[in-house]
Amino acid sequence: MLGAGMVGTSAALALQARGYDVALIDRSAPGSETSHGNAGVIQGEAHEPYALPRDLATLWGIALKRDNAVDWDMRGLLRAAPSLLPYWYNSAPRRHRHISQVYSALVRRATSDHASLIAASGAGGLIRRHGYRLLFRDAAPFDLMARKAESWKARYNVGFSIEDGDVLAAAEPALRRRLAGAIRWHDAWTCSDPGGLVRAYAALFRKRGGEEVRAEIEGLDTGPGWRVRTSVGVFEAEQIVVALGPWSPHLLEPLGYHFRMIRKRGYHMHFTPGGALPNLPMIDAELSAVYAPMRAGLRICTGADLSVDRGEAMPRQLRRAHAAASELLDLGEPVEASAWRGLRPCMSDMLPVVGAAQQHHGLWFDFGHGHQGFTLGPTTGTLLAGLIAGDPDPAVRPLGPSRPAQGL
Ligand SMILES: Cc1cc2nc3c(=O)[nH]c(=O)nc-3n(C[C@H](O)[C@H](O)[C@H](O)COP(=O)(O)OP(=O)(O)OC[C@H]3O[C@@H](n4cnc5c(N)ncnc54)[C@H](O)[C@@H]3O)c2cc1C
């Protein structure tokens, strides 16, 4: 297994459960990269993947950099253009609805696929099973979202409740000002230490006899079987799974696979609580920012940055989210001197790549989980293990790289 993020570690456990002898190779400790820095929401409510906005008002807001959901610069946009164009095409309502049917089948089982691993790894203390809140300052977007939630309930049976300003204020005394209200999503679980959860899963993998290798993966050679060239030597395996998150396409290029991946950068920073922490994580709808109580403090996470990284200690989206959060919550001092940054590995058809490589025997893919890899790791790992073991009828059809929208 190449990659010990949430995706690779979960898949390693699923293969182990099928009786395979698995080695988990990563240059860092498990859960140190994207799977560490996310908002920690196991998004059982997210039945539709993030589409690119297509309405003029939102696009105008992004173009003028008023919308904090997306940041961009021309160099970054040009670099991402070959992947953004098919992403735009796939975001058309009819195609997005079709993609969402597949996505929903994955998301529907996400919390239960995590549940068995959480129990077996003894990580229950990191998990809250009470959902999260989507906050609104103004009545108009709140009403609009409430109507959208109703339509998701009809389509996906998603669980939610609508909290007006009074209910919200009573439920979250940490809020310093009255808001229009919140949508409380009930089907999501949240984690107070996302990297810690991956480490707990990795400890379970070791306890069950799995081997963990700390090494930089440098390349793959094949025929017969596979050889993985690493900084500490060459490892041989009959089959390998590439689960390197945002780095997966790079390793596969020399083998002739050219995946269209958009790497949407996101940031986080922790703040020591000046006052009470919120009871549940909150998404500030207007700022597209998450305020998540974590072991390390209040974690503020941002939306998607498509610009070239300028290495700022506190990038623009985070500065704006911090200013907005400071109005709502009593934030203390920053815990870190500069923001954590990580890349969401998003495919242009919004679906993770899970399945057999078309051109090589014994090569398998499990990457491209975009905004929801922390959620979906155990689910795609279970499906992939079924495919590798030759299940005749997996519960959900595999999402192989051969799907037309993927564009290999
Ligand atoms: C700000 C932000 C907030 C997010 N919030 C959420 C959320 O609330 N819920 C959710 O479900 N998802 C969320 N996500 C998305 C989620 O974090 C990712 O989809 C997920 O972590 C991807 O997991 P992964 O295992 O594929 O990748 P990673 O966790 O990045 O793992 C890949 C691993 O590959 C290793 N690696 C790469 N190259 C090499 C090499 N050459 N040699 C050795 N090792 C290598 C890395 O060290 C790393 O450990 C968020 C992402 C961001 C950026």
pLDDT digits (tens, 9 = 90+) for 5-63: 999 999 999 999 999 999 999 999 999 999 999 999 999 999 999 999 989 999 999 99
C-alpha 31 – ligand 1 centre gap (Å): 8
Helix (H), strand (E) at residue 344: strand 340-347
Instruction: List domains and CATH numbers for the chain.
Output: 1-51+91-125+189-259+348-408 (3.50.50.60)
> Pairing relation of β-strands 127-128 and 304-305?
unpaired
In which band, very low, low, confident or very high, does the pLDDT at 66 lie, cut at 50, 70 and 90? very high
In which band, very low, low, confident or very high, does the pLDDT at 393 lie, cut at 50, 70 and 90? low
Q: Is the pLDDT of residue 390 over 50?
A: yes
Residue 31's pLDDT is: 98
My answer on whether omega of the bond before 278 falls inside 30° of 0, hence cis, is no
C-alpha 6 – ligand 1 centre gap (Å): 7
* Tokens read off for 85: 């164009």
Q: Is the pLDDT of residue 406 over 50?
A: no
Specify the higher pLDDT residue, 104 or 391.
104
C-alpha 33 – ligand 1 centre gap (Å): 5
What is the rounded average pLDDT for all residues in the chain?
95
Q: Is 368 in the pocket of ligand 1 (CB under 6 A)?
A: no
Between CA 181 and CA 11 the distance in angstroms is 39
Q: Is 373 in the pocket of ligand 1 (CB under 6 A)?
A: yes
Q: Is 38 in the pocket of ligand 1 (CB under 6 A)?
A: yes
C-alpha 147 – ligand 1 centre gap (Å): 33
Q: Is 40 in the pocket of ligand 1 (CB under 6 A)?
A: yes
The closest residue, in CA terms, to atom 52 on ligand 1 is: 38
> How far from 335 is each of 62, 302, 332, 339, CA to CA, in Å?
30, 17, 9, 10
Give the rounded percent of residues in the chain with a pLDDT score beyond 90: 93
Q: Is 26 in the pocket of ligand 1 (CB under 6 A)?
A: yes
C-alpha 237 – ligand 1 centre gap (Å): 24
C-alpha 179 – ligand 1 centre gap (Å): 33
Residue 391's pLDDT is: 86
Among 244, 268, 318, 341, name the best residue to mutate to test ligand 1's pocket (greatest count of ligand atoms within 8 A of Cβ): 244
C-alpha 124 – ligand 1 centre gap (Å): 21
Residue 400's pLDDT is: 52
Which ligand 1 atom minimizes the distance to the CA of 30? 49
pLDDT in tens, 359-369: 999 999 999 99
Render 270-296 in DSSP notation, one character per residue. Answer: EEEESSPPPSS-EEETTTTEEEEEETT
Residue 275's pLDDT is: 82
Burial of 105 (0-12, 13-18, 19+ CB in 10 A): middle
Q: Is the pLDDT of residue 261 over 80?
A: yes
C-alpha 366 – ligand 1 centre gap (Å): 12
3-state class (DSSP) for residue 214? strand
Give the rounded percent of residues in the chain with a pLDDT score beyond 70: 96
* Tokens read off for 83: 């992947």
pLDDT in tens, 90-104: 999 999 999 999 999
* Vertex 287 angle, CA 142 and 183, to 5°: 30
pLDDT in tens, 228-245: 999 999 999 999 999 999
pLDDT in tens, 131-186: 999 999 999 999 999 999 999 999 999 999 999 999 999 999 999 999 999 999 99
Q: Phi/psi at 50 (nearest 5 deg)?
A: -65, 120
Helix (H), strand (E) at residue 146: helix 139-156
Residue 223's pLDDT is: 86
In which band, very low, low, confident or very high, does the pLDDT at 265 lie, cut at 50, 70 and 90? very high
226 Cβ contact list (under 8 Å, min separation 6): 220, 236, 237, 238, 239, 240, 362, 363
C-alpha 199 – ligand 1 centre gap (Å): 13
Q: Is the pLDDT of residue 203 over 60?
A: yes
Q: What is the dihedral of CA 44, 50, 55, 60, to 10 degrees?
A: 120
Q: Is 212 in the pocket of ligand 1 (CB under 6 A)?
A: no
Torsion sign across C-alpha atoms 154, 155, 159, 164: negative
Among 7, 24, 38, name the best residue to mutate to test ligand 1's pocket (greatest count of ligand atoms within 8 A of Cβ): 38
Count the residues in the chain: 408
Q: For residue 124, what is the DSSP state? A: G
The answer to whether 265 and 309 have CB atoms below 8 angstroms apart is yes
Which ligand 1 atom minimizes the distance to the CA of 215? 43
Q: Is the pLDDT of residue 304 over 70?
A: yes
Q: For residue 208, what is the DSSP state? A: T
Residue 396's pLDDT is: 58
